[in-house]
Chain A
Amino acid sequence: MPLYVEILISVFLVISGVFGFVGSYGLIKLKDSVQRLHAPTKATTLGVGGVLIASMIYFIAKTGHISIHELLITLFLFLTAPITANFIAKAYIARNMREGELPSSGGRYGWAVYDDPPESRPGS
């Protein structure tokens, strides 16, 4: 394996390590749940992404084939991480905030946590 590839891989690994560390540190450092929500997003996107890119480069250099496992992992991360964040935020709003504390939704309907969906079941 040529040196520049190794250096490339190392760079991505270091980047992922730094972001992983920052993400974990943020989880401890930040004040409440909504703020903390930001920290692990860095770790999952850039942190894990760095490792995945490094892994792909490594396997291309080693076997000559493109490894698509990493792409699948990325796909699943992109699918699951937003849902998790979305749910944590919703749970936080439902438990810790009153309706008036939120800014206006800007549309004709209020926030989903408080308002029934438009054109919902008859009678509600």
Chain B
Amino acid sequence: MSDGAHFLFLIALLPFVGALVPGVMIRAGRTACASFTAVPTALALILLMTFAPAVLRGEVIQAEIEWLPQLGLSASFFLDGLGFLFATMILGVGLLITLYARFYLSGDDPMGQFYTYLLLFQGAMLGIVISDNILLLLIFWELTSLSSFLLIGYWKHLPEGRQGARMALAVTGSGGLAMIGGMLILGNIVGSYNLTDILAAGDLIRASDWYLPALILILLGAFTKSAQFPFHFWLPHAMAAPTPVSAYLHSATMVKAGVFLMARMWPALAGTDAWFYIVGTTGLITMVLGALIALFKDDLKALLAFSTVSHLGLLTMLLGFGTEAAAVAAVFHIINHLTFKAALFMTAGIVDHEAHTRDIKRLGGLRHLMPVTFVIGTIAALSMAGIPFFNGFLSKEMMLEEASHTKWLDSYYVVPVLATLGALLSVAYSFRFIAHVFLGPVRDDYPHKPHDPPFGMWAAPALLTVLVLLIGILPAVAEPIVTAAASAVTGADLHPHLKIWHGVTPALYMSILAILGGAVLLAIHAPLDRAWIKAPRPEAKTIFDGLVAALAAFARTITEGVHNGAISRYLAIFTVASVGLGAVAFAGGGLSERTRELLPIPPVIAVGWLMLIVATVSVVLMHRARFRALVLIGIIGLSISAGFAYLSAPDLALTQISVETVTIMLLLLALHFLPKETPRESPMGLKLRDGLIAIAAGGGVGGLVYAFLLRDIDTISDYHIANSYEGGGGTNVVNVILVDFRGYDTYGEIIVLGIAGLIIYALMQALLEGPAARRLRNVDYSQDRSRDRHPLMMVVVTRLLMPIAIMVGIYIFLRGHNQPGGGFVAGLVIAIALLMQYMASGFAWTQARQRIEYHAMIGFGVVIAGLTGAGAWVFGLPFLTSGYTYVHLPPIEEFELATAMLFDLGVFLTVLGAVMLMLYSLSRIARYAGSADVNVEAMDYDPSERQSDAEEAR
């Protein structure tokens, strides 16, 4: 490990941090924005270059920080030859694209957004190539899918842009999903998610039974990303993006990610027949097919897109061969393809920018009008064709050499013939690019009179063509980096020699054949094109759209079947599923012998039980009269509370009583604005079905409880009882469970409660802005309403009870830790005390006399509980660990102070806030429903003012 290894983190972070810059800098102007976008990229590139000597010597630089060791996920990076090559490409081309985009994007395009997306994408790509942990790699992989979605759909106003972005995301995203599976399998085989470990364990992986599934899943990810047949169709549609995006994504980065992955995994996965036939064949087909389609594309960018598909196929095929020489050729071609393809994309962008069209049939003769662009485009295209003294020739020659002695299913001819065909087609479309765009007579019907762009726009492609020529004439300059990268791919110590003349080899003949054939094809392109247009071809987009539509329809059928908006259906599904699982569990056996006898039933209890049953049955029978049902529900609730008290669960009884009271009060208030009768809606069959489900579920739960009661079973209660005082400092086990043992649960629950309160408030807000508000205003409630809205007796009594109730609330809160009580019950008690005031004197009158915002109360509750929990961190303990101490103040008895009590305070505040917010929401309806006038006095008629009244009368 070298000293500067921690700079790797900086390199990985720089683009993400830098992504914040353009959005700010765009206010300073477009040039400033572009310049500052270049800064993080340039910095990262400089840092990367400091590693160059070490990497080229064959060293591997590693840096690691533990992130989530439980998952085997660590933020570890490593830089070897392959990673270095890709990182240089990503950052270098990134810089050029930044420059190019500055001049390409028009003033109407939001440039800040563009550069932000670009840097995000750059960061994600960089992350992929230097990750040393496959889980981390997967994260970056998905990030590239997401950020490329943003880039491809950058022109949001164009439907092609949006559709292309969606297609790219769907295809690469689903491939990524498959890859996650493959990577997890791989990690499982090796026992480590560290890439270095996995690469070292190639033999183990190839011998594993899980090799093939892992290989297929990972290749699905790589093939979708690198647009290999049959997933190639997304790439041309992604051409709807601005040209800088196409140039970046489709020459150097996005689509190369799949190739990178195959190269990266080469030591672990390559070398088997499965690898050769899947990867090699797919690459071969893609190469030929892509080149064939490219020849007949009239859109410049579509031509380049399919040629990219073809070249990616070539790379895939080379990696698929599994030999070291092929790996060298692949690495070399990655570099060469980058240089000429990025230059070509930028050339296409310049032509489009200047001539306002990319249709080859409408172009021609541009060499006179755009000489600079012509030179750049021609050099790059000749390299793509594989003409000697351009770098494309060198790697294509190596490819043909490898292909010439590759045997496919006992045939020595399949691969060489098809490879030559691919090369031939490639020559043809490259020549067509030159001939039909630049050569020929000058036309007078261009949509816009073209001329060479400013220097800034052609500087980037020009630099790339210099590289094309440099490598093409002096291949030795690329030798160190190719050596380092190829050694990293294969894991062997390679010393390839790149040279132009290899002597008279089969590859030379194949090359000559390809160039001659390509020229012939170009000559007869016009009739071929007519035939091609007439021939029926499957349209990938239609198939894809059909597939997506079918999947969406399938998903909709399922969703709307089970999720149709009727709560009765949800409950039915949930209940039937639970009962079903219970039945399966019961059928599994394993029920131990009963060890307890039934206890005698005392007559009083039997009477209470009978009352409970009668009340429950009555609710079912009378539920249509809602008020009566509410009274019966109240009876049931109180009977259950009595049952809790009888069965020595005072905490539950206390909670049940207060919850019951609050619920009934709120329901009464809500019912005032609702119909008093439930309409008859369910047909008999539905009732029967629901009845059966209900009986099965109720009977099942009853049976389960009965079975438990008859057996001596070890439960967690014993642990809680044993540890409540020592561990939690409280003798009330229930409270200690709530605030300590299961504090996390409680914390989550109060958050849910707070959210529920806020949602009721929000729903009411939405309700009162809709048609419901009009209906409410038109309802006449005056008929069944007494004139005295705030009766004297009620007001006086509630006023009298308020301090008592609050005292009880505080008392219950304080004793909670050791005796029945606690924050939850206390919150409810105080809420009831306040509710009484609201009911007696009206909401607005009471609200005007207390200054607490209930929203804030919920927030404070959650924050206090959270901070109390987090306080444990200060002492180096886990979240929500409680501490306690005993305090003795002379006038009072010795009492206990526990942090759990602070937590309980949070619970208290949240409960109180949520209940009161619900009440507030309901009262808003009341004010809409006509009783908008607010009483000034607490009660309708205050007898203490009677004296003055009498005097007045006199």
* Chain A residues proximal to chain B, CB less than 8 Å: 79-80, 82-83, 86-87, 90-91, 93-95, 108, 112-121
Q: A79-B801, A113-B786, A113-B787 are in contact. Are A86 and B793 (CB under 8 A)?
A: yes
Q: A83-B794, A86-B793, A112-B940 are in contact. Are A117 and B788 (CB under 8 A)?
A: yes
User: Beyond A117-B788, A117-B941: 14 further Cβ-contacts under 8 Å?
Assistant: A83-B794, A83-B797, A86-B793, A86-B794, A90-B786, A90-B788, A94-B784, A112-B791, A113-B787, A113-B788, A114-B787, A117-B787, A118-B941, A119-B945
Task: Give 30 pairs: A residue, B residue, CB < 8 Å, sorted on A.
Answer: A79-B797, A79-B800, A83-B797, A86-B791, A86-B793, A86-B794, A87-B791, A90-B786, A90-B788, A90-B791, A91-B786, A93-B786, A94-B784, A94-B786, A108-B953, A112-B786, A112-B788, A112-B791, A112-B940, A112-B941, A113-B786, A114-B787, A117-B788, A117-B940, A118-B949, A119-B945, A120-B940, A121-B933, A121-B935, A121-B936
In the complex formed, the residue of B with least CB distance to A110 is B787
Q: How far is the CB of B642 from chain A (nearest CB, A)?
A: 16
Q: Does B785 contact A (CB under 8 A)?
A: yes
In the complex formed, the residue of B with least CB distance to A90 is B786
Listed residue (B791, B933, B936) with the most chain A CB atoms within 10 angstroms of its CB:
B791
Q: How far is the CB of A17 from chain B (nearest CB, A)?
A: 14
Contacts of B800 in A (CB 8 A): 79
In the bound complex, what is the Cα–Cα distance between A26 and B274 (angstroms)? Answer: 92
Q: How far is the CB of B557 from chain A (nearest CB, A)?
A: 51
In the complex formed, the residue of B with least CB distance to A113 is B786
In the complex formed, the residue of A with least CB distance to B952 is A119
Q: Are A83 and B793 in contact (CB-based, < 8 A)?
A: yes
Q: Are B787 and A82 in contact (CB-based, < 8 A)?
A: no
Interface residues of B in 887-945 (CB under 8 A from A): 933, 935-936, 940-941, 945
Contacts of B933 in A (CB 8 A): 121
Contact of A95 among B784, B788, B935, B949 (CB under 8 A): B784
In the bound complex, what is the Cα–Cα distance between A80 and B804 (angstroms)? Answer: 14
Question: Chain B 145-183, CB within 8 Å of chain A: the 1/0 string?
Answer: 000000000000000000000000000000000000000
Contacts of B801 in A (CB 8 A): 79
Contacts of B788 in A (CB 8 A): 90, 112-113, 117
Interface residues of B in 800-828 (CB under 8 A from A): 800-801
Q: Are A82 and B793 in contact (CB-based, < 8 A)?
A: yes
In the bound complex, what is the Cα–Cα distance between A87 and B791 (angstroms)? Answer: 9
A-B pairs with lowest CB-CB distance, top 4? A112-B788, A117-B940, A117-B941, A94-B786
Q: Are A94 and B785 in contact (CB-based, < 8 A)?
A: yes
Number of A-B contacts defined by CB within 8 Å:
47
How many B residues, CB 8 Å from partner? 19
Q: Are B949 and A119 in contact (CB-based, < 8 A)?
A: yes
Contacts of A91 in B (CB 8 A): 786
In the bound complex, what is the Cα–Cα distance between A86 and B791 (angstroms)? Answer: 9
In the complex formed, the residue of B with least CB distance to A94 is B786
Q: How far is the CB of B761 from chain A (nearest CB, A)?
A: 29
In the bound complex, what is the Cα–Cα distance between A90 and B941 (angstroms)? Answer: 16
Contacts of B949 in A (CB 8 A): 118-119
Q: How far is the CB of B611 from chain A (nearest CB, A)?
A: 13
In the bound complex, what is the Cα–Cα distance between A93 and B794 (angstroms)? Answer: 17
Contacts of B793 in A (CB 8 A): 82-83, 86
Listed residue (B784, B785, B793, B801) with the most chain A CB atoms within 10 angstroms of its CB:
B793
In the bound complex, what is the Cα–Cα distance between A72 and B784 (angstroms)? Answer: 36
Q: How far is the CB of A41 from chain B (nearest CB, A)?
A: 15
Contact of B794 among A87, A108, A115 (CB under 8 A): A87
Q: How far is the CB of A16 from chain B (nearest CB, A)?
A: 16
Q: Are B787 and A112 in contact (CB-based, < 8 A)?
A: yes
Contacts of B785 in A (CB 8 A): 94
In the bound complex, what is the Cα–Cα distance between A110 and B801 (angstroms)? Answer: 30
Q: How far is the CB of A12 from chain B (nearest CB, A)?
A: 20
In the bound complex, what is the Cα–Cα distance between A93 and B953 (angstroms)? Answer: 29
Question: Chain B 770-802, CB within 8 Å of chain A: the 1/0 string?
Answer: 000000000000001111100101100100110
In the bound complex, what is the Cα–Cα distance between A115 and B789 (angstroms)? Answer: 11
In the bound complex, what is the Cα–Cα distance between A44 and B52 (angstroms)? Answer: 94
In the complex formed, the residue of A with least CB distance to B934 is A121
Q: How far is the CB of A5 from chain B (nearest CB, A)?
A: 24
In the bound complex, what is the Cα–Cα distance between A19 and B174 (angstroms)? Answer: 78
In the complex formed, the residue of A with least CB distance to B790 is A117
Contacts of A80 in B (CB 8 A): 797
Q: How far is the CB of B638 from chain A (nearest CB, A)?
A: 15
Contacts of A120 in B (CB 8 A): 940
Listed residue (A91, A94, A117) with the most chain B CB atoms within 10 angstroms of its CB:
A117
Contacts of A79 in B (CB 8 A): 797, 800-801
Question: Chain B 440-461, CB within 8 Å of chain A: the 1/0 string?
Answer: 0000000000000000000000
In the complex formed, the residue of A with least CB distance to B939 is A117
Contacts of A112 in B (CB 8 A): 786-788, 791, 940-941
Question: Chain B 534-558, CB within 8 Å of chain A: the 1/0 string?
Answer: 0000000000000000000000000
Q: How far is the CB of A39 from chain B (nearest CB, A)?
A: 18
Q: How far is the CB of B942 from chain A (nearest CB, A)?
A: 9
Q: How far is the CB of A48 from chain B (nearest CB, A)?
A: 16
Contacts of B784 in A (CB 8 A): 94-95
Contacts of A83 in B (CB 8 A): 793-794, 797
Q: How far is the CB of A20 from chain B (nearest CB, A)?
A: 14
Listed residue (B788, B933, B936) with the most chain A CB atoms within 10 angstroms of its CB:
B788
In the bound complex, what is the Cα–Cα distance between A82 and B784 (angstroms)? Answer: 23
Contacts of B936 in A (CB 8 A): 121
In the complex formed, the residue of B with least CB distance to A112 is B788
In the complex formed, the residue of A with least CB distance to B792 is A112
In the bound complex, what is the Cα–Cα distance between A32 and B634 (angstroms)? Answer: 23
In the bound complex, what is the Cα–Cα distance between A80 and B933 (angstroms)? Answer: 29
In the complex formed, the residue of B with least CB distance to A116 is B787
Contacts of A93 in B (CB 8 A): 786
In the bound complex, what is the Cα–Cα distance between A115 and B787 (angstroms)? Answer: 6
In the bound complex, what is the Cα–Cα distance between A90 and B945 (angstroms)? Answer: 23
Q: How far is the CB of A86 from chain B (nearest CB, A)?
A: 5
In the bound complex, what is the Cα–Cα distance between A87 and B945 (angstroms)? Answer: 24
In the bound complex, what is the Cα–Cα distance between A86 and B794 (angstroms)? Answer: 9
In the bound complex, what is the Cα–Cα distance between A121 and B931 (angstroms)? Answer: 13
In the bound complex, what is the Cα–Cα distance between A34 and B786 (angstroms)? Answer: 17
In the bound complex, what is the Cα–Cα distance between A88 and B31 (angstroms)? Answer: 80
Contacts of A87 in B (CB 8 A): 791, 794
Q: How far is the CB of B391 from chain A (nearest CB, A)?
A: 93
Q: How far is the CB of A120 from chain B (nearest CB, A)?
A: 7
